[in-house]
Amino acid sequence: MVSTNLSIVVSVIALLVAAGGITYASIRLGDIDSVNSNLVSKVNSISSDVTSLKSQIGQLGQQQADRLKAVEAELAERKAREALIDAARKEGKVTIYTSQTIEQMEALKKRFEATYPGITMEFIRALGGPLTERLQTEFAANKRVGDVVQGSQEDFVVYKERGWLEKYLSPELKGIPDIYKDPDGMNVAARIPFYVVGYNTKLVTGVDVPKTWDDVVNPKWKGKFSIGDPFVHPSTLVWFDAMKQVLGNKWANFVTQMRALNPRLQVSLTPVVKQIVTGEVSIGLTLTSSMFPELAAGNPVAVAPVEPLVALPNKIAILKNSPHPNAAKLYFDWFLSDATMKFLAEFGDTVSKGYAPDAYAKYIPSVKYTVRALTERESDALKKEMGLPWN
């Protein structure tokens, strides 16, 4: 009986030990799983850090490579520029055909020749039709005089169509919005003057100062209004074309009223300002670039608050097979440089790199339209629609 009970107790103890052993083993295995999980987590973290470090090293390497490329490109550009300057000095001269004022060009000539001693800058002021005829003669005879041409956007349509322009991708183009660049690299808009209504401050005061385009064609200005002749001056003609957008269905009546003023018609918009200053006329349509010298001199002129306004991009290009091709490229680069663009702004120009004179800053928000370049057929059609010539 005792033997039997002892056997039972031993069996129970064995079972308990066995049970305890199972529990103990389970606990130990759980600890191992936990350690393994922590190790895996740490390994994954280290792996992520290594990947991140590799990425950073790669980025640093790429940055160094990019910097090296930039330095190499800058050195190559400097070398090419030095070679261009040397070649231009050997040519010794550059001739510019331009529509800019004589005052502006004289100032530019002085600066260019001071920047590049040994290279003479000559300029010939020519406008629209006469310049086109001159270029036609030069190209027909294969005798070039001009190297660079600067003028109104609409003229460049003809120049490009006739194959008179040379492709040139200046390093200075990078600071100019694409909207001002010819897609084929034949020219670029550098100066962006806009049309304004000027008036003589001694003759026009108070409520008489025009504030709308209807005010501009008021019959009281009959014989007292000046404007470029749209029949011979392309920049005036394209302004009338742009005014179709400004005035909509009122445009035809506006043209009729303008013609009824018997306006003093000029070969360009520059003489208009002179007439306003002298009192020959009371008001007139001109350009900011022509108006600025008179404003700066303190003459009795002012800009009427008429809006919206229209911009006239002025372009620059190298003429094909020019006699001084290297000097032409050098002048082109110099003209588009930040230094020259800022100088032009100080001289009264708004330019494609974003600089503008303080005197015109308040009017820039009113510039809502830009003239478009007209083909010869479109120009002829517009002249007919306007009943040109007017005299």
Instruction: Give the mean pLDDT of 206-221.
Output: 98
Instruction: Give the mean pLDDT of 102-114.
Output: 95
Provide the percentage of residues in the chain whose pLDDT is more than 90: 63
The tokens for 124 are: 């010939």
Least confident of 116-120, 338-342, 357-361: 357-361
Confidence of residue 315 (pLDDT cuts 50, 70, 90): very high
Confidence of residue 153 (pLDDT cuts 50, 70, 90): confident
pLDDT at 348 over 70: yes
Residue of higher predicted confidence among 349 and 282: 282
Which pLDDT value is given to residue 266? 96
H helical segments located in the chain: 2-91, 102-115, 128-141, 153-161, 213-216, 234-247, 251-260, 270-278, 288-296, 325-336, 338-346, 376-385
Instruction: Give the mean pLDDT of 300-313.
Output: 95
Provide the percentage of residues in the chain whose pLDDT is more than 70: 89
pLDDT at 166 over 80: yes
Confidence of residue 328 (pLDDT cuts 50, 70, 90): very high
The tokens for 362 are: 């308040």
The tokens for 282 are: 């009371």
pLDDT, tens digit (0-9, with 9 covering 90-100), for 12-45: 434 444 444 444 344 444 555 555 566 567 667 7
Least confident of 73-87, 100-114, 276-290: 73-87
Amino acid at 173: L
The reply to whether 195-311+379-385 shares the fold of 92-192+313-356 is yes
Which pLDDT value is given to residue 257? 98
Distance (Å, whole) CA 155 – CA 235: 9
Which pLDDT value is given to residue 11? 46
What mean pLDDT, rounded, does the chain reach? 87
Which pLDDT value is given to residue 37? 64
Distance (Å, whole) CA 47 – CA 169: 49
Q: pTM of the full predicted structure?
A: 0.69
- Could you confirm whether domain 195-311+379-385 is CATH 3.40.190.10? yes
Which pLDDT value is given to residue 17? 42
pLDDT, tens digit (0-9, with 9 covering 90-100), for 317-327: 999 999 999 99
CATH class of the domain defined by 92-192+313-356: alpha beta
Confidence of residue 65 (pLDDT cuts 50, 70, 90): confident
Instruction: Give the mean pLDDT of 342-354.
Output: 89
Confidence of residue 47 (pLDDT cuts 50, 70, 90): confident
Distance (Å, whole) CA 95 – CA 328: 8
pLDDT, tens digit (0-9, with 9 covering 90-100), for 89-98: 999 999 999 9
Ranked by mean pLDDT, the top range of 53-57, 100-104, 125-129, 286-290 is: 286-290
pLDDT at 282 over 50: yes
DSSP secondary structure letter of residue 298: T
Compute CA distances 252 → 67, 244, 385, 387, whole Å.
59, 8, 9, 11
Confidence of residue 54 (pLDDT cuts 50, 70, 90): confident
Domain ranges, ordered by start, for the chain: 42-88, 92-192+313-356, 195-311+379-385
